[in-house]
Amino acid sequence: MKRFEPILDGTNRSPFAIATRAGLWVASQPYGVVIAFRNWLYDRGSKAIETASVPVISIGNLTAGGTGKTPASVFIARWFRAREVRVAILSRGYGALQDGVNDEAKELEVLLPDVPHLQSPDRVATSKIAVEELEMQLLILDDGFQHRKLHRDLNVVLVDATEPFGFGYLLPRGLLREPVSALRRADVVIATRADLVEPQKLAEIRTRIQRFNPRAAWIEAEHSAREWVNADGEIRELVAFCDKTVMAISGIGNPKGFESTLRKHNVRILEHLVFPDHHPFSQTDIASISDRISAMDPAPDAIVCTGKDLAKLGACRIAGRELWALRVEMQVRTGEDILDEHLQRILERIQ
């Protein structure tokens, strides 16, 4: 993704880049028609929407790529678990590994050991399993904004402040999964990574969103780094890699956000190997990483990755270098009382 950004954002003005943008724009038109028709069918009631017997909170986004859905799901699940509500997370399970679960499931198992995580493209079916068999009181629909088949009682949409509108175009010309106007369906909009942009840019993002949905609650949040963890579950303090040199590895939707977080904590990145989102990391990949590390001069002090990547790599060392993952959590900067009010309303329906 990183090497395609100059093409998508228009900074690459070469004839090849211009032709590529034109081709991608043409390809995005049928996609836009399909999305518009699908939403029209749901809006007019021609496609059925199933309602679960317990409240459902959807956490989703408008763009392809990492906006922080997993930290947001953890934040909200912990909010309800602290109030003794039985919570389950339902996700599609994109990019499942050989054992049938994906990187998000492995990470959530560590972060939320008391919260069942059901993965299936048919989230209506898994909602019934969660309620009827597991006796859950609340369902969190992970990556649910476009999954309109299941009714939600609270629609939370995440917008990455560093790239909020997916270069302004639908897939594949840009990163938008739906037009920005789809935010009319949102109840709460959370601007993630709000600490990485200037206040003026945040204000501009909020103004644009409110043109489409002035009633949506506006929350600003950041991905707060907490600690380092390895595959054996050992923990190191956040300052452990301050001023240390590292090779960074990521197979996530927003590698730039990962880089920014590392630099914010004075971690010196010698090189960043970027893989596609949900990349499974084969033995060939690990051998290639090992060869690259062995060729580096000077060699890095350590290798760092995200929690999702650690779940797939499953090693404490590569090429003799320690491998550590940065564990992050969503931290609300502004609007926490507003978010609490929305969650409290859901809580009152359960109790």
What does the pLDDT look like over 82-107, one tens digit per residue? 999 999 999 987 655 555 566 777 78
List, in sequence order, the alpha helices (H) in 10-102: 15-43, 69-81
Q: Which domain does 84 fall in, by range?
A: 56-223+331-350
Query: pLDDT tens digit string along 130-181?
Result: 999 999 999 999 999 999 999 999 999 999 999 899 999 999 999 999 999 9
pLDDT for the residue 87: 98
Does residue 75 lie in a domain region?
Answer: yes
CB 170 within 8 A of CB 32: yes
Does residue 143 lie in a domain region?
Answer: yes
Q: Could you tell me if 8 and 38 lie in one domain?
A: yes
Q: Could you tell me if 144 and 246 lie in one domain?
A: no
Query: Considering the chain, what is the average pLDDT of its residues?
Result: 92
pLDDT for the residue 269: 96
pLDDT for the residue 129: 97
- The β-bridge partners of 192 are 160
Q: Could you tell me if 121 and 62 lie in one domain?
A: yes
Mean pLDDT (whole number) for 336-348: 97
Domain with residue 74: its CATH number is 3.40.50.300
Does residue 51 lie in a domain region?
Answer: no
Q: CB within 8 A of 153, min separation 6: which ones?
A: 55, 56, 57, 346, 349
pLDDT at position 318 over 80: yes
CA-based angle 135:105:289, to the nearest 5?
A: 175
Q: CB within 8 A of 323, min separation 6: which ones?
A: 230, 231, 302, 303, 304, 305, 310, 313, 315, 316, 317
Q: Could you tell me if 268 and 301 lie in one domain?
A: yes
CB 253 within 8 A of CB 66: yes
Q: Could you tell me if 219 and 342 lie in one domain?
A: yes
Of the listed ranges 31-35, 39-43, 224-228, 277-281, the one predicted with least confidence: 277-281
DSSP code for 300 = P
Does residue 25 lie in a domain region?
Answer: yes
Does residue 49 lie in a domain region?
Answer: no
SS3 334: strand
- Range of 136-140, 229-233, 284-288, 309-313 with top mean pLDDT: 136-140
Mean pLDDT (whole number) for 113-117: 94
Does residue 50 lie in a domain region?
Answer: no
CB 141 within 8 A of CB 123: yes
Q: Could you tell me if 144 and 216 lie in one domain?
A: yes
pLDDT for the residue 95: 58
Number of domains present in the structure of the chain: 3
CB 72 within 8 A of CB 223: no
Query: pLDDT tens digit string along 105-114?
Result: 778 888 899 9
pLDDT at position 220 over 90: yes
Mean pLDDT (whole number) for 66-87: 95
CB 162 within 8 A of CB 220: no
Does residue 210 lie in a domain region?
Answer: yes
pLDDT at position 182 over 90: yes
Q: Could you tell me if 76 and 216 lie in one domain?
A: yes
The Cα 113–Cα 194 span in angstroms is: 28
The Cα 287–Cα 336 span in angstroms is: 45
Mean pLDDT (whole number) for 265-288: 91
Q: Could you tell me if 211 and 78 lie in one domain?
A: yes
pLDDT for the residue 4: 75
Q: Could you tell me if 75 and 181 lie in one domain?
A: yes
Domain with residue 289: its CATH number is 3.40.50
Q: Could you tell me if 38 and 172 lie in one domain?
A: no
Residue 172, preceding peptide bond in cis (omega within 30° of 0): yes
pLDDT at position 185 over 80: yes
pLDDT for the residue 2: 62
pLDDT for the residue 1: 55
Q: CB within 8 A of 218, min separation 6: which ones?
A: 189, 191, 206, 209, 210, 335, 338
- 142: its two tokens: 């992970």
* Tokens 């919570």, residue located: 87
pLDDT at position 3 over 80: no
DSSP code for 39 = H
Does residue 87 lie in a domain region?
Answer: yes
Q: Could you tell me if 190 and 338 lie in one domain?
A: yes
CB 262 within 8 A of CB 240: no
Whole-model pTM?
0.90
Q: Could you tell me if 207 and 85 lie in one domain?
A: yes
State residue 306 phi and psi, 5-degree precision.
-90, 170
